[in-house]
Amino acid sequence: MVELKARCEQVETGIQRGEKMFQLTSVGNARELGGYKTNDGRSVKQGVLLRTAGLNAMSEEDKDLLTSVYHLDTIVDLRMEKEIEKAPDPQIENVRYVKIAILDGEASFPEELQKEYTALKMRHGSWFEEIGLLIRHGFFSDQLYVVFLSSELGKRGYSQFFRELLALPEGKSILFHCTQGKDRTGCAAMLILFALGVDEETILHDYCLTNEYNAELIVKERRMLEASGVEDVETFLCVMDQVNPAFMKNCIDWMKKQYGSPLGYIEEALGVTKEEIAILREKFLS
């Protein structure tokens, strides 16, 4: 109890200093969006918008930290049902849990890829082969986030995400995550930051922080892939725990081309009104 109290005090000090990382010891890629400056000179509130990788290994101590210091109200899980079944989120007392799928697994694959993927599964192919198949068919490429944002499932999902942001009670926080906390989660962070008026350069910086937070993990994975004889190591790493800024830049450029701007996408494709954007800014900016 004394140790937890000391940790809580340390985290509260970190929030006051505007530190990005929030001190979870059992959850990867854990950070917050607080402290970023907006185009109108305001700042995103600290300790409110939290993003992480999967929560399935979360310790009791980290649960206590989230509820006692961050006053966590809602967890938004952006994973597919199969991912959730394999590694379910822990239950946290008095915290709402919301599932919002952005991808639909094999149902999202083109017909030819579906056939090959099914055949690979039937012969119990390795995960190396699975990833290689997705890469060869172009499913996992630097256009992946465009798939997220252009699909009907993705648009419904991110629209619901904004509904959860709008419904968040005053003085509470929301945590959103997927498996690695970088792709579906990265797009969610990008969208809310654009809605709040943060500039593109800062948003790309936030996206690329994954490579700093996962630095040790990426080094180990690179060695493993090179030892396994994988040819396209960089693309494999982006399937795993690394990010490539081209993925996010392509997504932002697509929104500009199709909707005039990211805000245009948020309003037109996700159905978030100008009045609601004003509410979000009042809620999450200081």
Q: Give me the mean pLDDT over the 65-85 stretch.
A: 95
- Say if residue 6's pLDDT is above 70: no
Higher pLDDT, 118 or 63: 63
- Say if residue 108's pLDDT is above 80: no
> CB–CB of 43/198 below 8 Å?
no
Higher pLDDT, 159 or 8: 159
154-211 per-position pLDDT tens digit: 999 999 999 999 999 999 999 999 999 999 999 999 999 999 999 999 999 999 999 9
pLDDT of residue 106: 67
Q: Which residue shows structure tokens 């809605």? A: 195
pLDDT of residue 122: 79
d(CA 49, CA 174): 6
Q: What is the mean pLDDT of the chain?
A: 90
Q: How crowded is residue 105: how many other Cβ atoms within 10 Å of its Cβ?
A: 12
Higher pLDDT, 134 or 6: 134
Residue 31's φ and ψ, nearest 5 degrees, are -155, 175
Q: How far from 197 is each of 19, 101, 217, CA to CA, in Å?
A: 20, 26, 32
272 Cβ contact list (under 8 Å, min separation 6) = 159, 162, 195, 266, 280
Q: How far from 210 is each of 24, 85, 188, 213, 242, CA to CA, in Å?
A: 15, 25, 14, 5, 7
Report the chain's terminal Cα–Cα distance, integer Å.
33
Q: Which domains does the chain have, with CATH numbers?
A: 2-284 (3.90.190.10)
Q: Is the pTM of this model over 0.85?
A: yes
